[in-house]
Structure 1
Amino acid sequence: MATNYAQIIGIHNKWAPIVFAVIYALVMVWYSVQAIRRHGWVYGFLALFSALRVVSFSLRAAMANNHHNAAFNRQMAIAYEVLYNIGFFSILLSAHRLLNDRRRLAKIDRAGSRLHQSMSRFHKGRFIELLLLTSVILGAIGVAFALGTNTGRTDVGNKLGQASTYIFLATTVFIVLLTFLGIHIERALRRKSTGASTGGGSALSGATNHHHLILLIIAALLLLRILFYAATIHQRATGQPTPASQAASSIKQTAQGNEHLWYPLAALAELLAVLFFLTPALVPVRSLVNRHRRGQAYPNEKGPTGTGYNTGDTAATGGLGAADNAHNGLSAV
């Protein structure tokens, strides 16, 4: 009897993945245009994420529609799982890059407190990137072993898959913590800047408060997605029969393979997260970030039109440029 790899993974509905693929295709076009026009890493990784999701959901729809060719569907199942992991790698990297760009515009590097400096070290290093790359590699090997024809490697593949999921979980939690920390520092710098320039007043503009809320929502959605996978990875490993020993009647449905749970807690959470990145002025302009990185953009510096960069910076980043006014007093925060 042919092995039903679609049912092993938990793929049944063929119309839902088509809808997701179409939505991601539209989002991919928009992010691709923004990546080219604005030369932004965040937009580039989001375009890559959307492209991978288009391919992943297309494979999912194809597997749901035709699962009779076991050899062909095994390769499709492996490709689907690997590409899906790489996609999550891309959106986590996008979130990390976004936080990094906002850190540079807020000039957190020049703050004197240890909390600010510790955040800068983590952002400047390649710790997050290495963790994500390790998770992708382990996940790819684990999927190949778990869905391969060599039953002796099935347990090893399941363990590698679990390790990959837990690394993704640790990285996501770390990004959530960086999000809270970044928002806290931005608020502190804004209070300092408003106190120095006006002698008091509102600590944050409405736009910046709005962006902080969006950042928290994105972090929460990414955490929800990976928590669902982490909570069900053991259940899937114990409930999934090996391809060699499986019969159609022996397939066990697990939480991770239940589309009624997977779509709202994983697929929809990712889609909402990537859509929230569309918020206007949430992602800083790359040229502005580069100027701040080189130390060339200061509040009193005049641009080609005779106006200072500070005004444009505030408009482009939802108020981050206002923190430049506190440049001489950051160490007091």
Structure 2
Amino acid sequence: MASQSVNYAKAFGFHSEVAAAIFAIIYVPFLGWFIRQSIVRPTYVHFILVLFCLIRLAAFVLRALLISVNSVGETLGALVADEILFSVGFFSLLYSSYTLVLDLEIMQNRPESSNPIIRLTKNRRLFRLTLLIAVILGVVSSTSASKTGTFSSSGKTERQASTILFLILTLLQAFQTLLLAQMEIAARGLEKQINESFGSKHAMSILLAGSVLLLVREVFSTATMTNISKQNEEHFWYPFMAVPEILLVILLSTPGLVPRRDDVQQRYPQVQSTQSFQA
């Protein structure tokens, strides 16, 4: 008797190719916008947002194919590739948000904190390394699942460890945003820019809203990390995972929000060595 083929994508909870296609289309103009910004206002934040939009575009196109084309949906490796793309993509979004907060803090011209804990939380290299570990754990767990069609006990542990690390780093990003908000409130009225752009004028509101969106995504991911089938139910996954991401991308595309790299380097010369792609 011939073995019955299994559409892994639908078994995993993917059902709406229309929703996946719509999100893929939505990311196209933002990809174009950040590519343009990377040319006219080259900054590390814009570069990694280009990467994020590329990864999300590819992930949603692949998701649409997994659902609509049986030969693709029946290929477990394609499903694993989609999962890996979503994990790697979040690295870019979270790190760009964290980097933007630190760059805007530099633009405040405030003295650096003497608190060693706070100084440690502002270590870009350490933040990026921890993010990389979280991504690697997620990739390893997804790869192990490709051999059996399900997560092993070790694969589940790696996936949960990855999720917890992402949550911790998201909380850290929110903490940095609150510190920046406190600094701006303390300095309010001391410096006023005559030709201040909309993005720089409303930077704190945008960043605080962005931090909330990141937290919504990660709290949901953490709350459902032991129940993958529930996490992948599309009436949960889209509003709590996909929608917060695209809303944050919309916020980060606000004109004038991201400071020019030259301006950041003039305020803090060390950034020339640390952000030139130690970042």
- Taking a change above 3 Å as real, the CA distance of residues 207 and 62 of structure 1, as seen in their structure-2 partners, is closer
- When normalised by structure 1's length, the TM-score is 0.73
**Which deviates the most, 90-99 or 178-187?**
178-187
Q: What is the CA deviation profile of residues 122-154 of structure 1, one whole-angstrom value per residue up to 9, with x for unaligned ones?
A: 324422111110000000000011232387x72
- What letter corresponds to residue 143 of structure 1 in structure 2? S
Residue 204 of structure 2 corresponds to which residue in structure 1?
212
Counterpart CA distance in 1 for 2:153 and 2:8 is 17
Alignment of structure 1 residues 90-239 onto 2, 5 Å: 90-108=92-110, 110-111=111-112, 114=114, 119-149=118-148, 154-190=152-188, 193=190, 210-236=202-228
2:258 to 277, 283, 286: 283
Secondary structure of the structure 2 residue equivalent to 1:126: helix
C-alpha change, 1:206 and 1:17, in structure 2 (3 Å) is closer
Q: Aligned letter for 2:70?
A: H
What secondary structure sits across from 1:255 in the alignment? Answer: helix
Tell me the equivalent position of 1:22.
25
Change (3 A) 1:255 1:289: same
Q: For 1:280 and 1:68, locate their aligned partners in 2 and report how far apart those are by CA, in whole Å.
A: 43
- Report Cα offsets for 1:5-58 as digits up to 9, x if no partner: 102321100111111111112111110111122111111111110000000001
> How many residues in Structure 1 have an aligned counterpart in Structure 2?
264
Residues in 2 aligned to 1:4 and 1:118: alpha-carbon distance in whole angstroms: 49
Alignment partner of 2:70: what SS?
coil
Partners of 2:29 and 2:213 in 1: how far apart?
A: 21
Do structure 1's residue 77 and structure 2's residue 79 form an aligned pair? Answer: yes
**2:66–2:72 CA contact under 8 A, matched in 1:** no
For residues 149 and 232 of structure 1, the distance between their equivalents in structure 2, rounded to whole angstroms, comes to 22
1:4 Cα deviation (Å)? Answer: 2.1
Whole-Å Cα distance in 2 between the matches of residues 219 and 186 of structure 1?
17
- Displacement after TM superposition at 1:186 (Å): 2.2
Q: Which segment is superposed worse, 32-41 or 75-84?
A: 32-41
1:257 equivalenced with 2:240 (yes/no) = no
Residue 67 (structure 1) shift: 3.0
The 2-side partners of 1:206 and 1:26 are apart by: 20
Structure 1: gaps spanning 5 or more residues: 198-204, 237-253, 296-333
Residue 206 of structure 1 and its aligned partner are, at CA, apart by 9.0
2:89 to 87, 105, 110: 87
Task: Kindly provide the amino acid, as one letter, of the partner of residue 106 in structure 2.
Answer: R
Say if 2:76 and 2:146, in contact at 8 Å, map to a contact too: yes
Note if contact 2:72-2:78 (Cα within 8 Å) is conserved in structure 1: no
SS at match of 2:26: helix
Distance 1:170 1:124 in 2: 15
1:41-56 mapped onto 2 (5 Å cutoff): 41-56=44-59
The offset of 1:267, in angstroms, is: 0.5
CA 1:129–1:13 in 2, change beyond 3 Å: closer, same or farther? Answer: same
Structure 1 residues 185 and 166: CA distance shift in structure 2, 3 A: same
- How far has the Cα of 1:2 moved from its partner? 1.7
CA distance in 2, matches of 1:270, 1:133: 19
Specify whether residues 65 and 294 from structure 1 end up closer, same or farther in structure 2 by C-alpha distance, changes over 3 A only.
same
Q: Output the TM-score relative to the length of structure 2.
A: 0.87
Q: 1:147 is paired with a residue of what secondary structure? A: helix
